[in-house]
Structure formats: C-alpha cells, structure tokens
Amino acid sequence: MIKKFRSYICVPSKGNYARGENRPKVDCILCSIAERNPEVQQKIVYENKDYMVVLNIYPYNPGHLLIFPIRHVEDFEELSSEEVSGLFLLTQKSVRLLKEVYHPHGFNIGVNQGEAAGASVKHFHIQVVPRYHSEIGFMETINGTRVVVETLDETLRKLRSKASILD
C-alpha cells in the first residue's frame, strides 16, 4: 500500500516548552527582550521608543507576532489612551505586514489577561497569528512551494525585509 504524506508546518520546540524545559529564568520575558538580556532569545521584528514587535519563539504558525509596550504594564486598563492607540495602530500595521509576506486567509488578534485566561506572560501584549483555511499542507498553495519547516530566523528575515510597513 502506498501512503501519501501531506506536508505540514512543524514547530519542534513546542514540546520542550510545554514540559517547562528551556524556559529562561527571568522575571519578565518581554522586559528581558526589550533590555536585550543575552540569556533570552530575541527575535525582534521592529521597535520604536515605546513599542516592540517580536516573534513568538513558540509560534502557532510562522509569523506569530507579539506586540507590546516597552514599559512593563500588566493589565489592559493600566495602559494610557496614547498606549492603547499606539499598540492598536501597530497591530493593524502588523496585520498588513503579515498579509504582504504570508498572504494568510485570516488572523487571530487577541489578548490573554490573567492566568485563568491562559496568559503565561504577565506583561501586556497583543498576539497576532496568521491563519489558513487548511493548516495542513497550506504552504503548498503559496507559490507552489512545499515548506515543511520554517525556522524562526527565516521568518524574521522575511518580516524584517518588509518591516518599513510598521513605521
């Protein structure tokens, strides 16, 4: 019998994370990224004086972004109105960037606040995840390319090459 295998996007580091291995021992992962702490993996797509856009290093899909204020803020209601508008504008531009690079069919755009809501990082951040009608083998529909694994550095290179969209 001939088995037909479908290609899929594989995120090999996810298992380690779920088991609590390889998690850096720092107070706040997002502050550590903003401070360029060398003990923390930093995949910075964009930054300005107030905000950062980084790759989630345990992505749901390639291009899974975290958008956050550099100032350590935990709760949505602690953000100033200027920060709310700054973060949402940057989120909107991030969606444009992902459309330009990955042509996804949809997005999850959201915030988890509090452990009960599934937040594993207290520092306020907005997540943007590109989504596809068929997430198994979906890369075959883009440029006819079969992609099994995209490394974080490949994702970073692609997004940084168009990061002027975020300015």
Residues in the site for Zn ion, rule: CB under 5 A? 28, 30-31, 72, 123
Shortest approach of Zn ion to residue 131 CB, angstroms?
27
Q: Give burial (CB, 10 Å; 0-12/13-18/19+) of 37.
A: middle
Give the SS3 label for residue 14: helix
Cβ-based nearer residue to Zn ion, 98 or 126: 126
Of 72, 103, 125, 133, which is the active-site residue? 125
Q: Using alpha carbons, list the distances in angstroms from residue 75 to 12, 124, 133.
A: 31, 6, 33
Shortest approach of Zn ion to residue 51 CB, angstroms?
13
Shortest approach of Zn ion to residue 140 CB, angstroms?
39
Phi then psi dihedrals of residue 90, to 5 deg: -70, -35
Q: Is 125 an active-site residue?
A: yes
- Distance, CA of 47 to CA of 105 (rounded, Å): 26
Phi then psi dihedrals of residue 66, to 5 deg: -120, 130
Cβ-based nearer residue to Zn ion, 32 or 91: 32
Shortest approach of Zn ion to residue 150 CB, angstroms?
28
Cβ-based nearer residue to Zn ion, 52 or 98: 52
Q: How many CB atoms lie within 10 A of CB 46?
A: 21
Cβ-based nearer residue to Zn ion, 43 or 123: 123
Q: What positions carry a catalytic annotation? A: 125
